[in-house]
Amino acid sequence: MAEQLQPLFNQLSTRLKAGDHSAAVQVCDQILAAAPGDADALHAKMVSLIELSRVEDALLLADSSPPLTDIVRFERAYCLYQLHREQESLALLMPAGVAPSEVREMQLAAQIFYRLGEYGQAADLFRQAEATGGPSAELSTNILAALVLAGRSADGVEYAKTTAGADEPGDKPHELVYNYACAAIEQGQMRTAKQLLQKAIELCRRTMAEGEDWSEEEVEVELGVLTAQSAYVDQCLGDLPAAQKAYQTLFAFKGDLDPAVLAVAANNMLRIRGQRDLFDSWKKNKANLSDTLAKKLTPPQRKAFLTNTALLALHMNKADQCKEILPTLEREFASSVTPELIRAALLQRAKQPKQCYEALEAAVAAAPAEGKKADAALLTLAQLQLQDHDLAKAIGTLKRAEGLATCPGMVGTLVALHERLGQTAEAAGCFEGVTSAPLLRAAAAFFSRHSMWPQAAAAQQRLLDADSRDLQALAGLVIATSHFDPALANEQYARLERGGAAEGEEEGSRRKKPRRKKRPLYPKGFDPENPSAFPKPDPERWLPKRERSTYRQRKKDKRAGISRGPQGSATGAATVDARATTNIQFMSEEQKEKLK
């Protein structure tokens, strides 16, 4: 039997090497007709079906073939992944939660976690696969993408810099450079991100130029993701005309572009337009909420689309449509405070302030203690109280936001509100326990403004304890102590005159290093060992040439001035209306006779 099947297996091998998977499936059927249950033929048929994107048929073949149970575990997991049955696929790859041992299984498991939104685990598995099987451009690209979406963009930037050639992306795939730019964006490095995106666009164009012939429209479609991200960076940098032009370019190819790219462009255009063209913005952003598109979006993108569409409905007075979006936002992003804030805004717009306050208080009560969700609700509540000119309640509400107690903005706001109420002592109490330099300087300025000189001196002293060379703090200390301790003020003033050096400081550590003497520059041909051999310099070399004994004045060239001055005219020339005159006199006949 084996001898009869050998020609068929040879034919199968030829088909597989040529990539002709349709013919390979037919050859597998011939082998299975002669030898039902042949594991090699079943395995080859399953792989060919996967290559032909007939995933359901491949999975059915694996389920109906017991000999393949242990052989095609990876292929079966891949089929489940393609059919969006992620949990079943993970159960095959990681039984009892044990990490895979093969590189391809690590990568597939990482892809599953990436799709499920578990970006941290995806990044760890990708890096494990890289450590086991060696680095590659594809793995590096996936690692960067997972790190950025996991909120570990700082690790992503460091990884990109340490990856071979990532800091100088001249010969790297444009996908890798694009992900590097995304990490820079998350770190707020917009200028760096702009340069990287320009490089990625250049690499993509070069790659397409080296391959098959692409039309200009096809190139623009392929560059859609890069163009959208570059426009977003322009928007963040304040170059709104360039961003709007890029978005309009993307809309021109909406029939060919990825719907996710168009959705991002439409969402970002909403921010540029503001209150203009609200109905067009509503039509485009409403389409961004489709279930089909939701599967292609990352969680941050999905959250941004839901939030912006709800806010747009709020501004357009579409209260019912806004309320329809809020349950979806709450269900998909339970930890977000945005739905409660939008619901409170609806009540405030409906002129129901009491219900609005109650909704915000309920959001604070339901949120975890000292969490961002509670802080956001408290800040919104305080803003409404300030609009009602109830400063005392606003102060009490702000003090409940314990997670923001040491933030400069919170301290400054509380101090300003207490000062408006004339509560100087309470305002001074806001500076208790501050340790950062900006807050200590603000405390010193506050105490000086209210003539609380001992407290001002204490704040300046704490600044000096942190940095003994802080001349600004030392000058402030001199001013403050001069109001209650003149002797100490004089001591600190002497220190200020020394440039901030304390008495015990070692002066030698601050002395400048002596400069090395420059080698003397001698005239050309001068020998310092035998100076008499060099001709002595002219003693009159410092005098002007006209004062030297050897000076001879040159004769002036009489012809030098001929070509100077205006040509063809002379001083005192006649004007147009001047009359010609003559000295000829007319003599009478008698005079003529006398002359004869």
Report how far residue 489's alpha carbon sits from residue 268's, in angstroms, rounded to the nearest whole number: 58
Quote the pLDDT of residue 563: 47
Report how far residue 383's alpha carbon sits from residue 265's, in angstroms, rounded to the nearest whole number: 32
Task: Give the tokens for residue 121.
Answer: 């685990």
Half-sphere exposure of 583 (CA within 13 A, CB side): 0
DSSP 382-396: HHHHHHTT-HHHHHH
Query: Rounded to a whole number, what is the distance in angstroms from the first to the last CA of the chain?
Result: 166
Q: Which of 3-7, 359-363, 378-382 has the lowest mean pLDDT?
A: 3-7
Whether this prediction's pTM lies above 0.85 is answered by no
Report how far residue 246's alpha carbon sits from residue 243's, in angstroms, rounded to the nearest whole number: 5
Report how far residue 201's alpha carbon sits from residue 249's, in angstroms, rounded to the nearest whole number: 15
Pairwise pLDDT comparison (505 vs 51), residue with the higher score:
51
User: Reduced to 3 states, what is the DSSP secondary structure of residue 530?
Assistant: coil
Quote the pLDDT of residue 393: 92
How large a percentage of the chain has pLDDT more than 70? Answer: 88
Give the amino acid at 590: E
CB 468 within 8 A of CB 498: no
Phi first, then psi: give them for residue 96, nearest 5 degrees.
Answer: 60, 25
Write the pLDDT tens digit of every residue in 155-201. Answer: 888 888 887 454 455 567 888 888 999 999 988 899 999 999 999 89
Q: State the pLDDT confidence band at 59, using cuts at 50, 70 and 90.
A: confident
Report how far residue 194's alpha carbon sits from residue 186's, in angstroms, rounded to the nearest whole number: 13
Quote the pLDDT of residue 522: 80
Long-range contact set of residues 452-459: C-beta below 8 Å, sequence gap at least 24: 452/428, 453/480, 453/481, 453/483, 453/484, 454/480, 454/484, 455/428, 456/480, 457/481, 457/484, 459/431
Quote the pLDDT of residue 500: 59
Q: State the pLDDT confidence band at 383, using cuts at 50, 70 and 90.
A: very high
CB 379 within 8 A of CB 350: no
Mean pLDDT of the chain: 83
Half-sphere exposure of 90 (CA within 13 A, CB side): 19
Span 128-132, average pLDDT: 89
Cα–Cα separations (whole angstroms), residue 334 to 133, 151, 261, 538: 39, 18, 26, 95
Quote the pLDDT of residue 456: 93
The residue assigned the tokens 């390979």 is 24
With the CA atoms of 372, 373, 376 and 379 taken in that order, what torsion angle do they form, in degrees rounded to the nearest 10? Answer: -100
Quote the pLDDT of residue 278: 80
Span 326-338, average pLDDT: 87
DSSP 138-158: HHHHHHHHHHHHTT-HHHHHH
Q: What is the largest CA-CA distance in the chain?
A: 168
Enter the DSSP assignment of 546.
G
Residue 584 scores a pLDDT above 80 = no
User: Reduced to 3 states, what is the DSSP secondary structure of residue 15?
Assistant: helix
Kind and range of the H or E element at 129?
Answer: helix 119-133
Max mean pLDDT among 206-210, 287-291, 312-316, 500-504 falls in 312-316
Report how far residue 217's alpha carbon sits from residue 291's, in angstroms, rounded to the nearest whole number: 29
Quote the pLDDT of residue 506: 46
Q: Which CATH superfamily is domain 2-162 in?
A: Tetratricopeptide repeat domain (1.25.40.10)
Residue 30 scores a pLDDT above 50 = yes
Span 473-487, average pLDDT: 91
Span 311-329, average pLDDT: 90
